Chains A and B, each alone.
Chain A
Amino acid sequence: MRGRGELIVLLGAAILACAPLLFGVYWTNLLTQAIIFGGAALGLDILVGRTGMPSLGHGAFFGLAGYGVALGVTRWSWNPWLAAAFGILATIAIALAFAPLAVRARGLTFLTVMLAFGQVCWGLATRGGEFTGGENGLPGIRRPSLGLDFWDLDSPDGFYLFTLLVATILTLAIARLAASPVGLSLQGIRDNDRRMLALGYNVAARRVVAFVVAAAAGAVYGALSAFFNGFVGPGSLDWRLSAQLLLSVVIGGAGSLWGPFAAGGALHIVRTYLTGETQRWPMVLGALYVIAVLVLPGGIASIGGVLRRRWRRPRRQAALESAP
Chain B
Amino acid sequence: MTESALTVDNLTVRFGGIVALADVSLTVRAGSRHGILGPNGSGKTTLFNAITGMIMPQSGRVLLAGREITRLAPHARVSLGLARTFQITSLFPSLTARENVVLAALPALRRHRGAWRPAADREVAERADRLLTDLGLSHLADRPVVSLGYGEQRQLEIAVALATNPRVLLLDEPTAGLSAAETRTVVSLIQRLPADLTIVLIEHDLGVVFDLAEHLTVLAHGERIADGPARFVREDPIVKEVYLGG
Contacts and interface: CB of A to CB of B under 8 A. Distances in A.
Interface stretch (A91-99, A161-169, A191-199): A191-199
Contacts of B116: 176-177, 180
Nearest to A2: B118
Interface string B119-155: 1100000000000000000000000000000000000
Contact of B114 (A180, A194, A255): A180
Taking residues whose C-beta sits less than 8 angstroms from the other chain, chain A's interface range is 20 to 34
Interface stretch (A182-190, A267-275, A288-296): A182-190
A185 B150 CA distance: 24
A209 to B, nearest CB: 7
11 contacts: A180-B118, A185-B103, A185-B106, A187-B95, A188-B103, A191-B92, A191-B93, A191-B95, A195-B90, A198-B74, A255-B94
A179 interface: yes
Interface string A103-114: 000000000000
A201 interface: yes
Given A180-B115, A188-B103, A199-B107, 11 more contacts: A181-B114, A181-B117, A181-B119, A191-B91, A192-B91, A192-B92, A195-B91, A198-B78, A200-B76, A200-B108, A200-B164
Nearest to B91: A192
Contact of B104 (A183, A190, A199, A255): A199
A185 B104 CA distance: 10
A257 B54 CA distance: 35
What's the dominant secondary structure at chain A's contact region? helix
A194 B94 CA distance: 16
Nearest to B86: A195
A181 B52 contact: no
Interface residues of B, number: 31
Interface of B: 52, 54, 74-76, 78-79, 90-95, 99, 102-104, 106-108, 111-120, 164
Nearest to A181: B119
Contacts of A199: 75, 78, 103-104, 107, 164
A184 B99 CA distance: 8
A179 B103 contact: no
A196 B92 CA distance: 9
A181 B92 CA distance: 15
A184 B108 CA distance: 16
Given A184-B102, A184-B119, A191-B92, A200 B75 contact: yes
A51 to B, nearest CB: 12
B90 A194 contact: yes
B158 to A, nearest CB: 14
Given A191-B95, A199-B164, A179 B78 contact: no
B92 A182 contact: no
A99 to B, nearest CB: 16
